[in-house]
Amino acid sequence: MIRYYERVGLLPKAPRSAGGFRYYSAETVAQLLFVRNAIRFGFTSKELAGFLNARDNGRPPCRSVRAAGQRLLEEMDEHLARLQDARASMAETLAAWDARLDGTPAGTPAHLLTMVPDAPSVARFGLAVKPPRR
């Protein structure tokens, strides 16, 4: 990741020792922690590079940073709403399974899997499982 951050302009290229090892100063380590925190917050490396480039060229990116933060919060709210909907759907399915199991004699199949919500409703919640890569 550090070399990627160097390539996209988030970190300066590290000088090398005589043996070819990269040397990272305390300032670079502090910058790396800043970058990791900003990415963990939700900014993309491309967004962050744009903010830092603007700052380094004398154009304070504060309003852009604030707008991007607002967008991230709105995206999180939308994701949480989808998760809450998915949870409600799962709870309804479990309640329906319990009702079916209560009316099914022991040792008799209840066919619970036939009651799993259809794929479009699962995908609607943003929880669809992606097929494995080949």
Distance separating alpha carbons of residues 65 and 48, to the nearest angstrom:
9
Domain annotation covers residue 111 = yes
- Domains in the chain, number: 2
Instruction: Give the domain range for residue 30.
Output: 2-56
Residue 75 lies in a domain: no
Low-confidence residues of the chain, pLDDT below 70?
A: 119-134
> What pLDDT does 134 receive?
44
Question: Which pLDDT score is estimated for 126?
Answer: 57
Q: Which amino acid is at 101?
A: L
Q: What is the pLDDT of residue 117?
A: 85
Instruction: Determine, yes or no, domain membership for 73.
Output: no
Alpha-carbon distance of 33 to 134, in angstroms, equals 35
Tokens of 18: 């005589």
In this prediction the pTM is: 0.71
Is 95 among the domain residues? yes
pLDDT for position 38: 97
Residue 42 to residue 40: CA distance in whole angstroms? 5
Q: What CATH number should be reported for the domain holding residue 14?
A: 1.10.1660.10
Measured in residues, the chain has a length of: 134
